[in-house]
Structure 1
Amino acid sequence: MPLRRTALAVLLPLLALPAVAIPSLAPALAGPGTADRWTAAPAMPANRYAGPDGTSSMHGDAGASDTTPFAGPGAGAVLGQPVVLGSVCPTILAGSDAMPIALCTEYVDRAPTVNLLDPQTLLPLARLHLSAGALLGGVYAYVDDRDRLVTVDGGTGDVVRIAHTQDGPLGTWQLAIDDRFPTAPAFRKACGSTTCDAIATVSPGYDGRIWFATSAGRAGYVAPRTKRVVLRTLGAPGTSKATEKVFNSIATGPEGAAVTTDHALYLVRATRTGAIRVVWRRAYDRGPARKPGQLSYGSGATPTYFGPRTGHEYVAITDNAAPREHLLVYRSDTGRLACSAPLFAKGASGTENSPIGIGGSVFVASTYGYPYPAGTDGTPSEPASADFTGGMQRVDLTRDGCRTVWRTDVASSAVPRFSRAEQVIYTVTRDANQVYRLVRISPDTGAELSSLTLGAGPASDTLQMVGTILPGGTLLQGTIVGYTAMRPGS
């Protein structure tokens, strides 16, 4: 996930670092993706407890594929008026009613505010302020099958479901907590107090449970019908105390919940008695230290489910090895390492972003050297700073392992999103002059297909946040002051 730091720190060191290009292996400008290849690729199976595919979570779906079934604004995109809220907006979702919901972090108290947006004007219709908690409280949230936002109230630690309603056909809109699931007793039992740990991320389970991970390296769930809360400490075999931490979102698939800690990737699921079972654990090379352009020591990747047959037979993360990190692809059922591939250039290899997974292909964007204001885990980066080099790489699974298809020097400043309908990759780029552009990239070649200038300077910084494509083709991109809309041209 791209945003994990205090909101106040966002406003401090906003000086751009110069971009350093790496050689591009992409051929000349090409058209959109090969139709047969990408349209035949299976998506994650529908999760009956989650909202619509593409808009229900920060990474598009419960499996964090970072794909969407919707076409974006296209080559003729029109830039809308930026909406300034005085807050950082990393999470913009929408339910089956197509009402956008922006979850933003306030500057003053570092707490999340839920903003219900008008689908036409994209201006706030209603707001609900929550309390700050782990990883800015509710940055990692999702929309459920009843269009409710599921997140965490940092003040109490409770998991909450927030509904939006309208007073009559022409009445005002309101946001209110529809359900509250107390977690304090479970934490008191697990670690001795209600403040010893906190929920960092939530995701809808295919089993109907609300799965979550905590900052101190625990996996857990809420059973909505009974309000039962179950926790399990993650760690190497034989470890009973919490020794690992979670700084990224989790992903859920039919096999279970995939959790990345700063040491290992886990697959967990509930047994018949309701206990949490670790199906498999795979430690990865976490490298010697946090790298510049990363927010924590260890993997910066939310796990990504993908696969050419079912859409979820594999799960991918990145490690933090030096001098080059690797894409790691595991069988989701057994945890067997299917293949690995080195990423980006030696000495300038690192990412804080979730990969895109579609069919047998994975796309990874580099964040090495991105000028984040600060890390979130208290560790210094080594080196202390570096130029933002950029870079994107496509890796395909083959019978012989992982094969790099192309690398480009695109300087992505947002989490890329793959439009399955349009067969292009959308992202935002940043250049040495701190100019931000919406670009469309060919998944076949890595070539840039179109570009639209969004703005320049600190206020336009997209800070590696994800853009969400709505059903009508509008793309909403979070910035450090609010969000920007790109609509399809006439």
Structure 2
Amino acid sequence: MRDPLRSGHRVLAIAVSAAILLLLGSPASAAQPPANPWLGPAGSATMHGDAESSDTTTAAGPGTGPVRVQTAKLGAACPTVLAGRDGFPVALCTTQLGRTPTVFLLDPETTQPLTRLALPKGSLLSGVYAYLDNRDRLVFVDGANELVRVAHQHTSSGWRLSIAERTPLGSAIPEGDGVSSLMPDWRGRVWFGTNRGTVGVLDGSVAHTVRLGEQIANSISTAPGATAVATTHALYRLSAGPDGVPHVDWRVAYERGPGRKPGQLSWGTGASPTFFGPRTGTEYLAITDNAAPEENLVVVDARTGAPVCTAPSGLAGTELSPVASGDSVYLASTYGYPYPALPEGAGPSTPLLAPFTGGMTRIDVHPGGCATVWRNPERSAAVPRLSTADGKLYTITRQKPAGGARGSTLFDHYEAAVIDAKTGRASTAGRIGSGFFSDTLQMVGSIVPGRVQYQGTVNGVVAIRPAGAVQPAIAR
């Protein structure tokens, strides 16, 4: 029989712990994920900032004051905007005409394109999940199932993008399949996942694989000695020995829900797995499930897969990876977001339509479980990026015109928004544009030194800086 006194003490302890975390918790004091030596600078080297997919950066953002917005109209949707140690933004985009994957090198002072390089067509996700390596080369898998490294250099005739290396993946990719995501581990080997559920490890020119048999629709994440993969059914941890052969360490199934929700791109979790934690920055793994009518944050022990806590998110659905730092996790709703295109085979959503209402949540993990710290109604139209330097979440919000209809319209406008990570209070820094071509389409922004925030849109890239800020000198 349960001891009611002991239960009461436990509830009180949890409440006190949550209160202490709320008062004292600060993203700036949290443990940072370890930097992967095979990546570019943490915070801007991958779509989710780092190998662990924390969506954090140690660079300060533009802040809450007035901002200056520069727009590069590229005629292409740019879900991946990264920046290396040399400060030059590199965008992996898909052109509106021809749907051609194209790499753009942008001028860090004007944000205008310096040069571009067209690539073979692949799947939707192979044009999203890429990274910058430790030599500032853009790494991705092209439509020919070759791992490609694209370098940029200044020549006597101007800037140039060129393919520095090609590595065929060959028989490692099953017929009719394609790579959806990739990430290096701490030995320099490249892990990759395919749309139909194969996970591989490329060591030099040799690839070894293991078949999971479940769709992989989000990014792979790596930490020292571990690789995390979220399929449309379960969360996995994998590892590989000196021979490079991958194997499954554990598998944790989650609630899949009744089907693909409106505002999501696949049936199952919309999250890339996120390593985080207050001690090492990697002791926990987090995803969101696909439960209905409300999704849950699912946190497990990254070493064993043992449950840490499951907490209601307050969101009907999300396609975004959890943002996490220390013991805090931040979630944003995409439920009902009106994507103009879906991946092949996505199928109809359940329900068919829903308005995009938005909403954001902070949940803290503590010894007794999870506690919701705040919720706000912000309609984030991009993946938020947390600056641990200033304790702010930076995103783009979708705003309806005055008197606009419920949900979303073609006349919506998009605002640079700053959310206080401690309180959830939001402020608007400035408008980045209006209408379809300014849609940030739940894509990720990157924040770089100099308080510059780069954000992809349906039609190119915008740079957001503090008004009157002096641009730091860039070596050319």
TM-score by length of 2: 0.89
Shift of 1:108: 2.5
1:484 corresponds, among 458, 462, 465, to: 462
Native 8 Å contact 2:54 2:324 kept in 1? yes
| TM-fit CA distance, 1:431 | 2.1
SS at match of 2:124: helix
Residue-by-residue CA offset, 1:32-71 (whole Å, 9 max, x unaligned): x989722220111111111101110111101010001111
Asked whether the equivalents of residues 384 and 444 of structure 2 are also in contact (C-alpha less than 8 Å), the reply is yes
Residue of 146, 150, 155 corresponding to 1:158: 146
Match for residue 365 of structure 1? 332
Q: Which residue of 2 aligns with 1:412?
A: 380
- Answering whether residue 228 of structure 2 is matched by residue 258 of structure 1, we say yes
Of the candidates 386, 394, 399, which is equivalent to residue 362 of structure 2? Answer: 394
Matches within 5 A, 1:247-326: 247-326=217-296
Q: 1:199 aligns with which of 164, 167, 179?
A: 179
Percent of pairs with identical residues: 50
| Amino acid of the structure 1 residue aligned with 2:134 | D
Pair 1:92-2:60 in alignment: no
Equivalence map 1:201-240=2 (5 Å): 201-224=181-204, 227-234=205-212
Give 3-state SS (helix, strand or coil) of 2:26's partner.
helix
Alignment deviations for residues 138-197 of structure 1 (CA, whole Å, 9 cap, x no partner): 31100011111111121x2000111111115xx41111111111111323xxx4x3xx21
Which whole-Å CA distance do the structure 1 matches of 2:293 and 2:27 have between them? 33
What corresponds to 1:17 in structure 2? none
Q: CA deviation at 1:368?
A: 0.8
| SS, match of residue 39 in structure 1 | helix
**In structure 2, distance between residues paired with 1:167 and 1:435:** 40
Mapped contact 1:35–1:423 kept (Cα < 8 A): no
Q: CA deviation at 1:457?
A: 1.3
Please state whether the residue corresponding to 1:370 is helix, strand or coil: coil
Secondary structure in structure 2 of the residue aligned to 1:185: helix
Q: Secondary structure at the match of 2:70?
A: coil
Question: Given the alignment of the two structures, is residue 337 of structure 1 paired with residue 326 of structure 2, yes or no?
Answer: no
* 8 A contact 1:131–1:153 mirrored in 2: yes
- Which digits, 9 at most, give the CA deviation of each residue in 1:227-259, with x for residues without a partner? 11111101xxxxxxx3x1111111111131111
- Please tell me whether the aligned partners of residues 255 and 289 of structure 2 are also in contact (alpha carbons under 8 angstroms): yes
Query: In 1, are the aligned partners of 2:100 and 2:120 still within 8 Å (CA)?
Result: yes
Kindly state the Cα deviation for residue 136 of structure 1 after the two structures are TM-superposed. 4.8
The separation in 2 between residues aligned to 1:309 and 1:77, in whole angstroms, is: 36
Between 419-428 and 429-438, the greater mean CA deviation after superposition: 429-438
Corresponding letter in the other structure for 2:62: P
Q: What corresponds to 1:380 in structure 2?
A: 348
Return 5+ residue gaps in structure 2 as ranges: 1-21, 402-411, 469-476
Provide the C-alpha distance between the structure 1 equivalents of 2:431 and 2:160, rounded to a whole number of angstroms.
Answer: 35
How far apart are the structure 2 equivalents of 1:284 and 1:34?
32
- Residue deviations 1:77-111, cap 9 Å, x none? 42323211111001000111111101111123323
Q: Output the CA distance in 2 between the equivalents of 1:204 and 1:34.
A: 37
Aligned 8 A contact 1:295 1:374 in 2: no
Contact 1:92 1:101 in 2 (8 A): yes
Q: Is contact 1:365-1:412 (8 Å) kept? A: yes
Could you say what secondary structure the match of 2:39 adopts? coil
Note the alpha carbon deviations across 1:302-354, whole angstroms, 9 max, x for none: 11111000001011000001111110001111111110101125xxx100001
Q: Which amino acid in 2 is paired with 1:386?
A: A
Which residue, out of 113, 116, 135, partners 1:124? 113
Counterpart residue number, 1:146: 135
| Distance change >3 Å, CA 482–CA 458, structure 1 → 2 | same
> In structure 2, how many angstroms separate the alpha carbons of the residues matched to 1:480 and 1:34?
40
Q: Separation in 1 of the partners of 2:90 and 2:165?
A: 18
1:181 counterpart residue number: 167
- Aligned match of 2:3: none
Tell me, in whole angstroms, the C-alpha distance in 2 between the residues paired with 1:158 and 1:138. Answer: 13
Query: For 2:25 and 2:298, how far apart are their aligned partners in 1?
Result: 26
Aligned to 2:11: none
What is the rounded CA distance, in whole Å, between the counterparts of 2:127 and 2:346 in structure 1?
21
d(CA) in 2 for partners of 1:71, 1:450: 17
Q: TM-score, normalised by structure 1?
A: 0.86
Check whether the contact 1:365–1:392 (CA below 8 A) recurs between aligned residues.
yes
Runs of 4+ in 1 over 3 A off after TM superposition: 33-36
Whether 1:423 and 2:391 are equivalent positions in the alignment is yes
**Contact conserved, 1:255 with 1:332, CA < 8 A, in 2?**
no
TM-aligned CA distance change 1:35 to 1:478, over 3 Å = farther
CA distance in 2, matches of 1:482, 1:145: 25
Distance in 2, Cα, partners of 1:310 & 1:120: 36
Answer yes or no: is 1:475 the counterpart of 2:453.
yes
Shift in Å at residue 301 of structure 1?
Answer: 0.3
Q: Which residue of 2 aligns with 1:353?
A: 320
